[in-house]
Chain A
């Protein structure tokens, strides 16, 4: 086999067109390489010059939208966030995220993950609905209270953690790291009073009980969310809840405006509407 020039990499991509074939197959493409190229850059090169039918999801190309999660050289990563040079190989093997059905080529069917996410009510639940709909002031939340859940808010729902989880690999009823970490994010948010509602789902099979701390979710998370930590912290809350030792904190109170508060004088009026 002739030596590959160092200004070229070989992409080995798992292709699948459901209209034309019963199962996926591998295809190889030689792509010119320049330092600083990401895996996503290479995919665009292939689509532009070699195979216009290649399909994948991407958007922001800077690691904040969570669209381009793929299995790259055996590990779930964001294609836009992965430098080809960090793979330490002239061969880039790209496959769709495992544990999700394949729609086409590198496009995974993520709706089950979002459906599970929705079942765990990922929004602030409070008894005072009027305040939620028409707020009269801020909710009190100290910096310490914010710190308890801030890390888990950085989740971009890319699905890499779900692809890496060994339990989710076999168990379709397990919620997976992302929905569970997000459930914990809301349970720990001091503005939220929905622990009892989420517990209905979390106490059963969809809960964190099938997590055995393999830790792969935290290892592959591109945003440092550490879902494994969230899940273990959530287990502690649920065990305390079973032992009736769970401190159900009153959801954060509204900071009422002082009666004599008035606007600063020099705030200009809003410009006239244009639509």
Chain B
């Protein structure tokens, strides 16, 4: 079982990673009218228009960044949730159960999100004809 000294250090490191990647993501999605990053919403219009989604998804760098952000955010968020739940003083068996559920749930969501990122990378490559 990994001890809190290690987990907390990774929690902090993940936080730094999220700061940059989520900051970028938030800028692209929610600050696009205020800050203009032409390269990241190349098709103009709304960030969630299909044309922009394809334009972003076909970049390998973007795909890797999404997977990195997914992993870091899942770890950071679920470890934080585990901390909050453990501070409520659950019984020993419940602590074990919560850890397992959060770990498995996190891994499952990471697998699903990575599949989605890779699949849309392939889809976008096809759609924009290499």
Contacts and interface: CB of A to CB of B under 8 A. Distances in A.
Contacts of B6: 203, 242
Interface residues of A, number: 20
A167 interface: yes
Interface residues of B, number: 13
A212 B83 CA distance: 11
B89 A171 contact: yes
Contact of A242 (B9, B83, B87): B9
Given A204-B3, A205-B4, A209-B4, A173 B9 contact: no
A205 B5 contact: no
A139 to B, nearest CB: 29
Given A239-B9, A243-B9, A172 B4 contact: no
Interface string A147-188: 000000000000000000001001111100000000000000
A185 B30 CA distance: 47
Interface in A219-254: 235, 238-239, 241-243
Contacts of A210: 83, 86-87
A207 interface: yes
Interface in B1-52: 3-9, 12
Contact of A209 (B8, B88, B89): B8
Nearest to A209: B4
B5 A170 contact: no
A212 B9 CA distance: 14
A207 B4 CA distance: 8
Contacts of B86: 171, 173, 205, 210
A170 B4 contact: no
A240 to B, nearest CB: 10
Interface of A: 167, 170-174, 199, 202-205, 207, 209-210, 235, 238-239, 241-243
Interface of B: 3-9, 12, 83, 86-89
